Structures are given as C-alpha cells and as structure tokens.
Structure 1
C-alpha cells in the first residue's frame, strides 16, 4: 500500500502552471491594474499565482478563483494566507461553465478556455470568448491565454503529441485574434510565450517526477510514473516550436 508521502512531489518547481515567465507576468499585472480594478474573476485558476500578484498590485481589490482541482485550490489558499491576502480572495471548487459569478473588472482565463465551453477544439475558443465577454464589466479587461499553432503540424508530429491530436485542435494566432474581435473585444495587447518560457514550464513540470524516479527506481509506482513522464516529455519534444501560447489582453467593445 502506498500513501501520498510515497508519491513524487507535485509541481513544486512551477511558479505558474503554464509557459509564463515572472518578467512577463509582472508586465501583464502592471497593464491590467492601470484601470483600477475592484474585482477579479479567475477561470480555471489553479493555485491562482497571477491573481495573487494582481491583488498585491491593486490594494482593495477582491478576487474569486474557480477550479476543480482541490490540491491546486488548497495551494492557492496557503499562498494567500502567507502573503496576507486571505481576506481578499476566495478559491472555490466549482465548474465555470454556468457560473453566475461576474461581471468582474478583470477576468482571467489562462489556458482554461475549455472550462467555459462545451464545443470541441478549436470551437471552444469561440464559446469561451463569448462567455468572457459577458463576464467582464464595462471598461474592464480580460486576459485570455490560449494555445495556437505556430505553424501547421505535420501528420507525423500530430501522432507524437497528445492522444487524438488533430490539426483542428488549435487556431493560428491571426484566427485566434479575429475570434476575439468577433466576440466583442478589441485586442489591447497581443503577446506570445517564447522558447525560454516553454522550456522553463515543461522542465519544471517534470522536474519533481524526474528527481523522484532517479531516487526510487524500484518503487511500486515507478513503472507507471516513468511511463507517464516519458510520454509527456516525448510529446513536448514533438510540439516544441509548433504549439504556441498566446496571451491576449482584451478590452470589451
């Protein structure tokens, strides 16, 4: 029988659960707080690192983060407590699909468009952006983080990515921006993760597991864990330079 203490640590080497550097995050936070937001809604918040930084930069603002991962939400609560922000943020285990939360002055949806839509990719981006338009207050801002194809993937590349990967899974950047405009936004800022950010994220995502595997090669969970880590790394090596991440700062029109 194994316990949680027998398992590899989970994502302790990551600051953000995505290819986002602290330098870019700081620039995004400065941009988003320019309008003096009072309320923040974080869709698919995880442990809410970006939201906590926004609250620190916008005194008096309050926030709600929605996610389904209890471990990530607990981490967010611990971080909020440690930074003296616990009375200004609520981490809620709940689906965002039919949320009654909002409208909020700032709405974050970073890598979580699927949490708002029922359509299959890439149609989920259309539905997510339409819902985000309804969730943001007039004069507010939306930060929409979404994957896109930097170039068309080949069939061989798709076969090495996630199970069932298809060229239809993502839009190209220009099409993603056009989709945001069609949903009722103007793009204040368009930026994309660079190679360093991807490497920091993907290496950090696996680092805990790789160290654990090196130290526990004969553990009862080692074979399963090794197979999962190897599969993830192989996928990353395949979509490296093909899959991008866009961060769109959007103004409701």
Structure 2
C-alpha cells in the first residue's frame, strides 16, 4: 500500500502537498484560535507540516494518517526536527475509512477528498472522529470562473466541469450538508505557482540523475507538457482553499 512513485518524485522538495504556502498554513492556524492541547486528526497528512508546525506554534496534539511511506517518514523526521515528536504521531495507512479511537477537537482532510469519494463522503468520514462542537477542515478545489468547455476542464485535471463548483456554490454545498462555514483561507496565484512550478525543478533534477530509470520517459513527457498546461488552463481557472466547518 503506497502512492505511485511519480508522486513522491514530483513533490520531493515539498513540505506541503497542496497549493498553500507556509504563510497561509500559519494564517489558518491563527484564524482557528487553536488552544494548547487541541486534539487533531489529519487524514491524508502528507509530510506532516500542518500537524508539526501547529504542534510547535499552538501546542496541539494529534495523529496524521497517509498512504505514502515516503511522506510518512518525512513527517516523522519533521516532528523530530521541530521537537514535537511527543505531541504528534504519524501512521502509514489508508486514510479512507480511518476513524480515531477517541473523539478529536479538529478533524482535517486538506486536499484529498477522494478518500471519501468526494466532499460529502469526506465530511461524513471526518465527522465520525469529531467531538460535538468540534471543527472540520476540508481542503478542496473550486472554479475561479466559469469553465467554457471540456478541453479547459481537462486542462485543469478535471474529468468534466461538474467535478468542481464555483466558490459560492461550494460554500452552499457545505451548508446543504448541515455545516456552517466559519473560516476559510484560499490559495492565490502565487501559492499555486510555488506548488506547481517547484514540481518542474524536482522532475528535471530527478531526470538528470536517473536517465535510465523505467519512469524516465514518463517524467520527460510530464516535464515537457506540464508548464504549458498549467499556464494555459489551471492557473486562471482553478482555485483551492481550506474551509473550516461546524455542524449546525
């Protein structure tokens, strides 16, 4: 059970595996007014930056679950680096269906709602671990403006326009699931650039170091096409944000 190797090659230098900068992650932690001792569950926790930095800055405790062995080891190393290894733990496993042993104060899935087959399923999954009155965090893409055609949708790595909603419609969707949106922090074009463009350098450096690897041809194709695809479609049309929800 693991992520395909191309994911860890592509994002090898990333501490955040989504279009958030460290500043935006810190701003989200501040906006939530996290109290010391807040118990957090982070599903699809990646390299653990959310839990580790919030443990350092706000003294939260918690558990992260991720399917990637590489990212899980990076998360454990980051916890040790920041001196928070006694506050947070990272589990290598499938986040889909994972429920905490005891209710938590904050349950998060920041950018991986496929673990619940979409927003509704992920909200339901997270709610199983949440104490009454707790907070859910959902990271999710949305359309920044109307998508004109199927080609543009596919250029944003969607299968169809209906894969995502415009921002007002996404917020309405959360309401329809029985939740108030109580905070949000949105990616901007600069944070998208930092996430996407950093991948191209990772790919090139890996390709130069591994020209005979079985993935080399696929990496060469991706490096040759991704910058144009991103600049032509995704940068203008696709937004992304983290939304804090509380049950009504």
> Structure 1 length as normaliser, TM-score?
0.84
Instruction: Supply the distance in 2 between the matched residues of 1:160 and 1:248 (Cα, whole angstroms).
Output: 25
Residue 67 of structure 1 corresponds to 66
For residues 10-40 of structure 1, the C-alpha deviation after alignment (integer angstroms, 9 at most, x for no partner) is 5343231111122211111112343455311
SS of the residue 1:140 aligns to: strand
Aligned: 1:200 with 2:199: no
Give the aligned partner of residue 13 of structure 2.
Answer: 13
Look up the match of 2:93.
Answer: 94
2:145 is aligned to: 151
- Residue 48 of structure 1 corresponds to which residue in structure 2? 48
**Pair 1:100–1:132, CA change in 2 (3 A):** closer
Give the structure 2 partner of residue 32 of structure 1: 32
Structure 2 counterpart of 1:251: 246
Output the aligned Cα RMSD: 2.3
Q: Which deviations, in whole Å up to 9, do the C-alpha atoms of 1:69-102 show, x marking residues without a partner?
A: 1100010011111111112211112222222315
What is the match of residue 3 of structure 1? none
Q: 1:135: which partner in 2?
A: 129
SS of equivalent to 1:142? strand
Equivalent residue number for residue 4 of structure 1: none
Task: Please say which of residues 128-137 and 140-149 is displaced more in the overlay.
Answer: 128-137
- Paired residues, what number? 236
3-state SS, counterpart of residue 128 of structure 2: helix
* Alpha-carbon distance between aligned partners in 2 of 1:12 and 1:99, rounded to the nearest angstrom: 26
Q: State the secondary structure of the residue aligned to 1:240.
A: helix
Which residue is 1:77 aligned to?
A: 76
Aligned pair partner of 1:219 in 211, 218, 221: 211
Between the aligned partners of 1:34 and 1:86, the Cα distance in structure 2 is 19
Q: In structure 2, the residue corresponding to 1:249 is in which secondary structure?
A: strand
Q: Distance in 1 between matches of 2:206 and 2:97?
A: 39
5+ residue gaps, structure 2, are 1-7
Instruction: Output the CA distance in 2 between the equivalents of 1:98 and 1:205.
Output: 30
3-state SS of the aligned residue for 1:241? helix
- Which of 165, 175, 183 is 1:189 aligned to? 183
Asked if 1 retains the 8 angstrom alpha-carbon contact of 2:113 and 2:140, the reply is yes
SS in 1 for 2:107: strand
Aligned to 2:3: none
The 1:27–1:100 alpha-carbon spacing in structure 2 relative to 1, beyond 3 Å, is same
Task: Return closer, same or farther for 1:182/1:231 CA change in 2, 3 Å cut-off.
Answer: same
Q: SS at 1:23's partner residue?
A: helix
Query: CA contact under 8 A between 1:39 and 1:104: conserved in structure 2?
Result: yes
Query: Which residue is equivalent to 2:5?
Result: none
TM-score, length-normalised on structure 2? 0.85
| Runs (5+) with no aligned partner, structure 1 | 1-7, 119-123
Partner of 1:209: 203
